[in-house]
Amino acid sequence: MTKSVFDLIVVGGGPGGYVAAIRATQLGMSVALVERAELGGICLNWGCIPTKALLHSATVLRACREATHYGVTGAGEARPDLAAMVARSRKVAGRLGQGVAHLMKKNGVTVFAASATLAGSGKLALDNGTTLSAKHIILATGARARDLPALPVGERIWAYRQALAPAEIPKSLLVVGAGAIGAEFASFYRAIGSDVTLIDMTPEILPQEDAEISQLARKAFEKQGIRVLTQCAVTASSPTATGIKVTLDQQGKKTELDVDRVIVAAGIVGNVEGLGLEKTRIKVEKTHIVTDAQCRTGEPGVYAIGDVAGAPWLAHKASHEGVLCVEAIAGLPTHAIDPLRIPACTYSYPQVASIGMTEARAREHVTQSGGEIRVGKFTFAGNGKAIAMGEDQGLVKTVFDAKSGELLGAHIIHPEASELITGYGVAASLETTEEDLMHTVFAHPTLSETLHESVLSAFGRALHA
């Protein structure tokens, strides 16, 4: 007979939920995990991982096309095989999904393939008729793409699922939303041959990033042939014989655009429906569950982590919250998550990565107390490894408190930005000062030397600029 009483039940098997379940078993708890779809959640199956697989295919395609620049001949004309790219992407996601299932079995987590609803103190009702009980319940139900009334998802208007498994390469494509997801899809489809238009309602693409970095990303996209329109929205759409006609409103100026397909990447909403929250003291604001620093909701014994609990909407934030939440339940000392110490990465071409404050926010933050900031910049054109790789376009930017030497923010645009940002993440977590960073020895020749040079630049000591 299947067990129904546990110490902890986790609802949702994404990167927050399954990590929370594993950590709980490590701490001696009996744990159940309820997942209505696929283990690994959207991130593993239809988000972070499969998009990176497709983007890597685009990187390989780009490298093949540029092979003669590196003295490699005889490769022939490189062309995208979309079906093979998609098949590989799905295979990668499938392999990792199996890995999560193995981890659940290895750690003794009981998995229920069902939907769950809160059913009173310490109880969960599953849609298969089973009732589970636990002293602690963690909601890790994630989020989904935001719907736009003017762009109902269907055969020609895609959300991320359709965009990850297309049957053919669209000749023309409109990407609505120039945040991380939109920028990544724009990069991929442009690399495989689509005529891409990328739009956003804000003044710049990647609006959460430092303004200077966003502007550099825009220039890089436009150089690749991506048409970028900012302060622009879709007000209407209608099908045509072969695609979609959309009406664009750019600061009051309306134009029409005919494209084969549209990708909607205009933000997310939390998956809060059907959980029975209305019968509890749990508060929901803008589709996200309100929690405290230990992930507790307003309902005793119920917690929330990951995307459903609000920004930043990042898989690594969800995993970290899962561990924090479980350790707090176990009575271990914990530290509240500081959003300024969570790195953010966009895997477009080039990549963009950052941690901490933008220059504008840091300036406002410091000057309120009468202080000043110091800003360092170093371009990859001065880095030997970048030049050797043929990837010498990009920038590392660092922002410090001039008086204390605290690293307030770091921003990178480069094809390897996501691999570099963790250096600054470690520095921020250790509360490293500019002196510590300047005294750190960076290996040569490496791209990471740019991190050092940017710090030196902030204090007038750059060696290769």
User: 354 and 328 share a domain?
Assistant: no
178 is in an annotated binding site: yes
Going residue by residue through the chain (465 aa), what tens digit of pLDDT does each one get? 578 999 999 999 999 999 999 999 999 999 999 999 999 998 889 989 999 999 999 999 999 999 998 999 876 689 999 999 999 999 999 999 999 999 999 999 999 999 999 998 899 999 999 999 999 999 999 999 899 999 999 999 999 999 999 999 999 999 999 999 999 999 999 999 999 999 999 999 999 999 999 999 999 999 999 999 999 999 999 999 989 999 999 999 999 999 999 999 998 999 999 999 999 999 999 999 999 999 999 999 999 999 999 999 999 999 999 999 999 999 999 999 999 999 999 999 999 999 999 999 999 999 888 899 999 999 999 999 999 999 999 999 999 999 999 999 999 999 999 999 999 999 999 999 999 999 999 999 999 999 999 999 999 999 998
Q: Residue 360 maps to which CATH number?
A: 3.30.390.30
Q: What CATH code is carried by the domain that includes residue 216?
A: 3.50.50.60
179 is in an annotated binding site: yes
- Answer yes or no: is 371 a known binding residue: no
* Whether residue 334 sits in one domain with residue 251: no
Helical residues (DSSP H) of 7-111, grouped into ranges: 17-26, 41-46, 48-65, 82-106
Q: What type of residue is 431?
A: E
Question: Annotation-wise, does 310 bind a ligand?
Answer: no
443 shares a domain with 365:
yes
Choose one of 245, 266, 287: the last residue of a domain.
266
Q: Which residues are catalytic?
A: 444
Of 339, 363, 388, the residue that ends a domain is 339
Cα dihedral across residues 285, 288, 292, 297: positive or negative: positive
Residue 151 resides in a domain: no
407 and 454 Cβ atoms separated by less than 8 Å: no
Are 125 and 116 spatial neighbours (Cβ–Cβ below 8 Å)? yes
The verdict on 335 and 434 lying in the same domain is no
Does residue 180 have a known ligand-binding role? yes
Per DSSP bridges, beta strands 351-356 and 288-289 are unpaired
Residue 387: domain span: 350-458
Judgement on whether residues 332 and 393 belong to the same structural domain of the protein: no
306 assigned to a ligand binding site: no
Tell me: do 105 and 34 sit in the same domain.
yes
Q: 289 near 270, Cβ under 8 Å?
A: yes
97 and 28 housed in the same domain: yes
135 and 245 fall within a common domain: no
Give yes or no for a cis peptide into 15 (omega within 30° of 0).
no
Residue 152, in any domain of the structure: no
CA 118 → CA 20, 123, 291, distances in Å?
A: 19, 6, 17
Say whether both 74 and 214 belong to one domain.
no
